[in-house]
A and B are shown apart, each in its own frame.
Chain A
């Protein structure tokens, strides 16, 4: 079952939200790498040219300059595509940002395989793994546009290194106006006692749809939006393991090093229960985003089937 929902591009929400924060946060500076229309920071560039720097596609330098700006008291927002912003300047993120814990905000768009037709090199399926392995970084994968807006507001108001993972494609809106994002505090979107589906980003909507489908089969699934992977809300994970006895993780990322690994680690350390992971198991080819998601099982049906499998393993 797929619920009809409005869709919105989180990257556009990012650019528009940032623009509204200029007066409240005079120290915000935005750094781009020749992808500023795609990441929507061109809105800021055009309004605040004195607080914007383009460096071309030179990501190592962008992160290095951002670290220097942060050390001088600025709040640098670095934006490019996820593949270019994480892997390319990884050493700079490690040495210049994570180790001294500088206040750099790395907001990347075009994550996961929703970049579809651009193909394998453009599919960012390792970024969560890379960023979760940097000890000082907070890592956030918003589920939709309303959550993105709150994440970005929180980013400017909270000191410390932050990575935010956004998509190119418009994604379903799963939150209403009353929702309040809290960094590091998972959101239980639906209660259930038979199995827990812990999802992030683009898999939150399919997780909710899967829970609806499972109801028809007599299965009550808890759905948790684990928007923050680092620091992870281990209490929510442990409660899910203890109270439902089986867990499905769902993410648009490689199966190693992302949400599945975070959840499995917390479960194994605290309250071992069976886990199924809905994730990518390798690289995938060019193609329309929805076809790639279906081909790789990143759908409501894929999540529901994983839930039925994991319940049998209880």
Chain B
């Protein structure tokens, strides 16, 4: 019999875990010399809430059929995902040092060769379709697992997201929850400058989804949104976040979407995250 759930963390413990995770994320990216900093820092509180407050899984049996599924659609933000998986027990935290290294366990974009990773990623817009496949399989099998997909907000400019949104509602995937990391910045610049996403909540609602908004950095708020029951269809949580959250000069700075900190920046960041 598989472990049904991990020990839950209190909201206070989550806060401490998030601080430590942010330091680990920066260390991974600094050591690798490249990687996606801003989105890893914006998503980490959502991941901690999921893995230590909501999801059931067994790190010793990553493919346990009854597990809840988490699909990282914004696969470039893999450092935040990896530190969470290591803490959850999927692999030795020493492996965090293999991120982006030749023959390392942790690929630049999340790949299922890493225990706990469900989907190959790196091309945007695919995760919701993949998650819907898991959700439909769960319903066919009469299994009660839930499926969570984390999408970037810029990623919602991909057409496939809306193909998946339309079909998830049509096929009644009430076991599917999408979470949008609404940090308002994408690769080049602010999302509003690249392509207008608002009214984002209305757009999802019009596609037949239950829409919940939350503060993506307040664990209690995220947990409340994640525990909200689905009523007859899929649910999307629009999590308001800050890109680069936790490091003053990275926050809301499009320059830190896809680059590593310099040595000086790394030292300054660690001081802020002490």
Q: A71-B119, A95-B126, A96-B126 are in contact. Are A65 and B132 (CB under 8 A)?
A: yes
Residues A68 and B130 in contact, CB atoms below 8 Å apart: yes
Q: A60-B160, A68-B134, A71-B119 are in contact. Are A51 and B129 (CB under 8 A)?
A: no
In the complex, residue of chain A having the shortest beta-carbon distance to the beta carbon of B145: A72
Closest approach, in angstroms, between the C-beta of B166 and any C-beta of chain A? 8
Closest approach, in angstroms, between the C-beta of B114 and any C-beta of chain A? 11
Q: Which of A50, A51, A91, A96 contacts B130 (CB 8 A)?
A: A96
Closest approach, in angstroms, between the C-beta of B120 and any C-beta of chain A? 5
Interface 9-mer from B96-104, B136-144, B215-223? B136-144
Q: In the complex, which residues 124-163 of chain B have their Cβ closer than 8 Å to any Cβ of chain A?
A: 125-126, 128-138, 140, 159-160, 163
User: Which one of B121, B126, B132, B171 has the highest number of Cβ atoms from chain A below 10 Å of its Cβ?
Assistant: B126
Q: In the complex, which residues 35-78 of chain A have their Cβ closer than 8 Å to any Cβ of chain B?
A: 50-51, 53, 55-56, 58, 60-61, 63-74, 76
List, in ascending order, chain B residues with CB within 8 A of A61's CB. 129, 132, 160, 163-164, 167
How many angstroms between the C-alpha atoms of A245 and B7 in the bound complex?
70
List, in ascending order, chain B residues with CB within 8 A of A96's CB. 119-120, 126, 129-130
How many angstroms between the C-alpha atoms of A99 and B140 in the bound complex?
26
Size class of the A contact interface (CB-based, 8 Å): 20 to 34
List, in ascending order, chain A residues with CB within 8 A of B232's CB. none
Q: Residue A135 at the B interface, CB < 8 A?
A: no
List, in ascending order, chain A residues with CB within 8 A of B65's CB. 73
Residues A95 and B121 in contact, CB atoms below 8 Å apart: yes
Closest approach, in angstroms, between the C-beta of B124 and any C-beta of chain A? 10
Instruction: Provide the B110-127 mask, 1 if CB < 8 A to any CB of A, else 0.
Output: 011000001111110110
Q: In the complex, which residues 144-194 of chain B have their Cβ closer than 8 Å to any Cβ of chain A?
A: 159-160, 163-164, 166-167, 171
How many angstroms between the C-alpha atoms of A91 and B123 in the bound complex?
8
Q: Residue A29 at the B interface, CB < 8 A?
A: yes
List, in ascending order, chain A residues with CB within 8 A of B167's CB. 53, 55-56, 58, 61, 65
Q: A60-B129, A68-B133, A69-B133 are in contact. Are A99 and B111 (CB under 8 A)?
A: yes
How many angstroms between the C-alpha atoms of A308 and B75 in the bound complex?
55
In the complex, residue of chain A having the shortest beta-carbon distance to the beta carbon of B139: A50
Q: In the complex, which residues 66-102 of chain A have their Cβ closer than 8 Å to any Cβ of chain B?
A: 66-74, 76, 91-92, 94-96, 99-100
Q: Which of A55, A58, A64, A73 contacts B137 (CB 8 A)?
A: A73
Residues B120 and A51 in contact, CB atoms below 8 Å apart: no
List, in ascending order, chain B residues with CB within 8 A of A91's CB. 123, 126
Residues A92 and B137 in contact, CB atoms below 8 Å apart: no
How many angstroms between the C-alpha atoms of A96 and B122 in the bound complex?
10
Number of A-B contacts (CB under 8 A): 102
Closest approach, in angstroms, between the C-beta of A34 and any C-beta of chain B? 12
Closest approach, in angstroms, between the C-beta of A171 and any C-beta of chain B? 33
Majority secondary structure of chain B interface residues (helix, strand, loop or mixed): helix
Residues A92 and B129 in contact, CB atoms below 8 Å apart: yes
Q: In the complex, which residues 163-195 of chain A have their Cβ closer than 8 Å to any Cβ of chain B?
A: none
List, in ascending order, chain B residues with CB within 8 A of A76's CB. 133
How many angstroms between the C-alpha atoms of A51 and B135 in the bound complex?
14
How many angstroms between the C-alpha atoms of A29 and B137 in the bound complex?
9
User: Which one of A53, A60, A65, A95 has the highest number of Cβ atoms from chain B below 10 Å of its Cβ?
Assistant: A65
Residues A92 and B126 in contact, CB atoms below 8 Å apart: yes
Q: A53-B171, A55-B167, A60-B129 are in contact. Are A65 and B136 (CB under 8 A)?
A: yes
How many angstroms between the C-alpha atoms of A49 and B154 in the bound complex?
36
Q: A55-B167, A60-B159, A65-B167 are in contact. Are A95 and B122 (CB under 8 A)?
A: yes
In the complex, residue of chain A having the shortest beta-carbon distance to the beta carbon of B158: A60
How many angstroms between the C-alpha atoms of A18 and B238 in the bound complex?
42
Residues A71 and B118 in contact, CB atoms below 8 Å apart: yes
Residues B133 and A66 in contact, CB atoms below 8 Å apart: yes
How many angstroms between the C-alpha atoms of A51 and B136 in the bound complex?
10
Residues A29 and B130 in contact, CB atoms below 8 Å apart: no
How many angstroms between the C-alpha atoms of A100 and B138 in the bound complex?
21
List, in ascending order, chain A residues with CB within 8 A of B131's CB. 68
Closest approach, in angstroms, between the C-beta of A135 and any C-beta of chain B? 13
Closest approach, in angstroms, between the C-beta of A213 and any C-beta of chain B? 49
Residues B120 and A99 in contact, CB atoms below 8 Å apart: yes
Q: A53-B136, A73-B65, A91-B123 are in contact. Are A65 and B159 (CB under 8 A)?
A: no
Residues B120 and A100 in contact, CB atoms below 8 Å apart: yes
In the complex, residue of chain B having the shortest beta-carbon distance to the beta carbon of A50: B140
Q: A95-B126, A96-B126 are in contact. Are A64 and B133 (CB under 8 A)?
A: yes
Instruction: Name 30 A/B residue pairs within 8 A (Cβ), A-sorted.
Output: A53-B171, A55-B163, A58-B163, A60-B163, A61-B132, A61-B163, A61-B164, A61-B167, A64-B129, A65-B132, A65-B133, A65-B164, A67-B129, A67-B130, A67-B133, A68-B129, A68-B130, A68-B133, A69-B134, A71-B134, A72-B134, A74-B133, A91-B126, A92-B126, A92-B160, A95-B120, A95-B123, A96-B119, A96-B130, A99-B120
